[in-house]
Amino acid sequence: MPNFRFRTFLLLVLLISGAYSHGQTKKQQELEERRQELRREINQINKLLFKGKNEQKTVLNTVEDLSYKMSVRQNLINVTNQQANLLTREINENQRRITQFRDRLKLLKEEYAKMIARSYKSRSDQNKVMFLLSSSDFQQAYKRLQYIRQYANYQKKQSDEIKLQTEKLQELNDILLTQKEDKQKLIGDNRNVKDELEREFLEQQTLVAQIKRDLSKYNSQIRKKEREAAKIDKEIEKIIREAMAKSNRDAGNAANSRTFALSPDDRALAANFTSNKGKL
């Protein structure tokens, strides 16, 4: 009768132990599956992280190129502005000279008109012969006539010269104005290109900021999943230690030995865990 009770008690212990071992093995399997899933997710996020870093490098290179192009365009604008300002000064100086020539021409015209008026007045008072005969001698009459002719020729020559110089300055101003208009158009074109580069630069900077946010998010996700994986590792290690301790206790009670023996399922999971640990 005592032997029967002992065998019944031993059978009950074995059934309970088997049920406990099966429950622990199932939990260990679930944890290992979750661990493998986390490993796949981390690998996938790492790929996105690597891709993002490459994109960031490409965009940063683009931003650097755009910054250089904008600098070159700004230098072109500055140089062209300097050229336009120089042309403006030349035009203003020529305009000042034109005004001076016109004032001088006006004065000469007035003097020439007075001279003609005096000449006609003299002719009305006396004829040409009487004008010449009024001289004290022939030589004086000749000199008077030569003087009038020379003065008239001088006035006309001065007037023609001023007209010529005025026309040349006006032609030069027309050329300078055309050049200035070309420079202004070039400045406008350069500014349009620079504005376009600035818009593209801002777009690329926005893209860089977005990539940085994505990279930060990926790193945060990886750290979170690594912490979760580490937590699972600890849980799996705890289950294995508990299973080993229980198996040793059972073995010690049965045979008074410290030899440890895992079930086939436990051995498979433990081996799988050991081979995969540290790869995350």
Q: What is the pLDDT of residues 173-229, one digit of tens each?
A: 888 888 888 878 877 887 887 788 788 778 778 877 887 887 788 788 778 878 887
pLDDT value, residue 23: 55
% of the chain beyond a pLDDT of 90: 0
Residue 110 lies in a domain: yes
Provide the number of structural domains found in the chain.
1
How far is Cα 125 from Cα 131, in angstroms, rounded to an integer?
9
> What is the average pLDDT across 140-159?
73
> Is the CB of residue 180 less than 8 Å from the CB of residue 91?
yes
pLDDT value, residue 121: 59
Residue 16 lies in a domain: no
Residue 32 lies in a domain: yes
pLDDT value, residue 134: 64
How far is Cα 187 from Cα 192, in angstroms, rounded to an integer?
9
Residue 18 lies in a domain: no
**Does residue 195 sit in helix, strand or coil?**
helix
> Predicted confidence band at 95 (pLDDT cuts at 50, 70, 90)?
confident
The residue count of the chain comes to 280
- Give the domain CATH number at 66: 1.10.287.2610
DSSP string, 222-241: HHHHHHHHHHHHHHHHHHHH
Residue 19 lies in a domain: no
The two structure tokens encoding residue 75: 């230098």
The two structure tokens encoding residue 128: 């040409």
Show the domain range for 157. Answer: 25-276
pTM of this prediction? 0.47
Residue 29 lies in a domain: yes
Q: Average per-residue pLDDT in the chain?
A: 70
Distance of CA 46 to the CA centre of its chain: 29
pLDDT value, residue 131: 53
Give yes or no for residue 167 having a pLDDT over 70. Answer: yes
pLDDT value, residue 275: 55
Residue 1 lies in a domain: no
Residue 11 lies in a domain: no
The two structure tokens encoding residue 70: 């904008």
Give yes or no for residue 137 having a pLDDT over 60. Answer: yes
